[in-house]
Amino acid sequence: MKVSNSKDRYIQVMQAALEAYGEERVLCLYEKAKKEGITEQGFPRLVSDLVILVCHGKNLHLAPLAVEMFEFCCRKMPETVKASSDFSVKELIFALKESETCGLLSPDVISDCRLNLSKFNPYVNYDRVCTSPEDKMNNWAAYNCASEFMREKAGLCSSEAFLKLQLPSQLRVFDKNGMYRDPHNPILYDLASRVQLAVLLWAGYDGEFRREIEENLEKSEELTLEMLSVNGEIPFGGRSNQFLFNEAYYAAICEFYASYENRRGNKEKAGRFKAAAALACDSILFGLSDGNYSHIRNCFPRDSKFGCESYAYFDKYMISLASFIYIAYLFSDDTVESSKGHFVSPEYASRLGGDFHKLFLRKDDVFLEFDLAADCRYDASGLGRVHCQGFPSALCLSVPFPGAEAKYVTEPQNREALCLCATKTLDGGSPSEYTVVSETCDGEKAAVVLRPDTGEWSETYTVQNGDVKIHCESADGSDIYYHLPLFDFDGRQHTEITQNENSLDVRYEGFTCRYSSSSEIAVLPDLLANRNGLYRHAYVRGKTVDVRIRFIK
């Protein structure tokens, strides 16, 4: 049997994430913590990941510093209140266990760290705790459940009473597909919360809620595979999207499923999840490959926070990549053989349904994602993603453009939420909602027909022979406008945009996306902004509109 090396690759990702800080920044963060205390989860994660990497033979010259910082963290955690400890205690336990295994810490230091971590009071030191099983609580409870159970596994507490209060709040929010509904249903927090509950199962939780957790995780297996784009990225949708750690959580849940199904004797299914995890890891490594070391999928200066929510700054979210990929490392069973070829059908139309209102369309190397009822503070309804395997994700479109009330930094600010979609007026935003009229997958093509909630036109999307064909038709014979964002600037370099009579080429890093139409393609002077960068704003106008998108190497 061929043995994969996914564990080694996950350590490679952790190392790259830490290198993005540099030793000077690590020391500055330590000095800040000594002066101000632990104020948020980024610092304990940084310390834990440094310790884990030293235990794996990396950064050995920093071993004395790692030990000193770890002692400091363990000593301070019982004094720390309202600092998001819900998100970081289990990381300290992971580092403690690694240290005990590799001998990094002396017996006296281990004893002191254990004593301090045993003093941690979950009802005081965590930020958000249910006081009864009937309380409502969001993903914070999923995190602190995982942290408390890991403290128990380390012999530092009993978590039974705590979990009985917290877990009911978590199990009530799963939908019929086993997806986790955090407020406004962001895709990332479905994956993140499922991973936290998977930590319980991986660590041996066998309490009264075990089977219900398993059932929800089982329900979401197939959708988890179908939601990943051909470039290894999780779906767009909601807050905290397009950060590199997104795919770390995806890799983690897939490694959990791979090991879980392998133990149940489902070797073929286990191999499919192993392959999906590998593709997600490839996506992360590609994002780190040019030395840019950004925590988000753009190349703007870190301090600009371009594409980031206010809470999503570098010092917190870059090291989160290392922490989350370490969970994938823990879950990984490298005796599971990865599937060869596709881990899902090369042709499908798949809907998440319900509160997640997503539609995915795939044909061979091309993957489309539609949002049927977007939250315009982050996204737009319509076609928000067109990925072609092997091409830069932002070349055509990877995420929509939020509206004027955007919850993340865009400069310039968009007037209206927009994506690849039709509107009745040139300055109108994307429709509020779409209805799926039909879906077709017949071996030759994959297609979907959408109609906006107003019923004023229809949009037909067909993927065939590597091309995306778009046909829009007005219901009343009046003109419609179909919007074409053209990738212009990633924060570091501009694309090359050239226009012929009825076609436009966007060239980026040696790859070309070509837009063609039987009608004139007009380009406006304004720019659109999303998490990935800046786009020019083009459109085609007519009673019927036909556009073809082609990827050219």
Tell me, what's the pLDDT at 1? 31
pLDDT at 501 over 60: yes
With tokens 């009330």, the residue in question is 405
Structure tokens at 23: 């030793």
Instruction: Work out the pLDDT band at 341, boundaries 50, 70, 90.
Output: confident
**What is the pLDDT averaged over residues 166-185?**
97
Is there a contact between 315 and 39 (Cβ–Cβ < 8 Å)?
no
What is the 3 state secondary structure string of 467-524?
A: EEEEEEEECCCCCEEEEEEEEEECCCCECEEEECCCEEEEEECCEEEEEEECCCEEEE
Tell me, what's the pLDDT at 48? 98
Question: What does the pLDDT look like over 125-156, one tens digit per residue?
Answer: 999 999 999 999 999 999 999 999 999 999 99
CB-based contacts of 516: which residues, under 8 Å, 6+ apart?
502, 503, 504, 547, 548, 550
Tell me, what's the pLDDT at 290? 73
**What is the pLDDT averaged over residues 99-109?**
96
Structure tokens at 441: 């997958």
Instruction: Work out the pLDDT band at 354, boundaries 50, 70, 90.
Output: confident
Structure tokens at 244: 């590199």
Of 430, 366, 423, 358, nearest to 400 (Cα)? 430
Question: What does the pLDDT look like over 504-548, one tens digit per residue?
Answer: 999 999 999 999 999 999 999 999 999 999 999 999 999 999 999
CB-based contacts of 370: which residues, under 8 Å, 6+ apart?
358, 359, 360, 361, 382, 383, 384, 434, 448, 450, 461
pLDDT at 109 over 80: yes
Question: What does the pLDDT look like over 14-59, one tens digit per residue?
Answer: 999 999 999 999 999 999 999 999 999 999 999 999 999 999 999 9
268-296 core/surface letters (b: 16 or more CB in 10 A; e: else): ebbbbbbbbbbbbbebbbbbbeeebbbbb
- Provide the percentage of residues in the chain whose pLDDT is more than 70: 99
pLDDT at 292 over 80: no
List C-alpha distances in Å: 368 to 227, 244, 441, 462.
10, 20, 14, 10
- Provide the percentage of residues in the chain whose pLDDT is more than 90: 97
Q: Name the least confident of 2-11, 200-209, 340-349, 358-367.
A: 2-11
Tell me, what's the pLDDT at 2? 37
Q: What contacts 24+ positions apart, CB below 8 Å, involve 477-480?
A: 477/543, 478/424, 478/543, 479/541, 479/542, 479/543, 480/422, 480/423, 480/424, 480/456, 480/541, 480/542, 480/543, 480/545
Question: What does the pLDDT look like over 215-272, one tens digit per residue?
Answer: 999 999 999 999 999 999 999 999 999 999 999 999 999 999 999 999 999 999 999 9
**What is the pLDDT averaged over residues 280-290?**
92
Instruction: Work out the pLDDT band at 5, boundaries 50, 70, 90.
Output: confident
Instruction: Work out the pLDDT band at 194, boundaries 50, 70, 90.
Output: very high
Is there a contact between 309 and 240 (Cβ–Cβ < 8 Å)?
yes
Q: Which domains does the chain have, with CATH numbers?
A: 347-552 (2.70.98.70)
pLDDT at 342 over 90: no
Q: Is the dihedral of CA 28, 33, 35, 36 positive or negative?
A: positive
Cα 317 off chain centre by: 12
Q: How confident is the prediction for the chain on average, in pLDDT? A: 96
Tell me, what's the pLDDT at 122? 97
pLDDT at 476 over 90: yes
Tell me, what's the pLDDT at 3? 37
Pairing of strands 347-351, 358-363: antiparallel
Is residue 224 within a helix (H) or strand (E), and if so which, with residue range?
A: helix 221-227
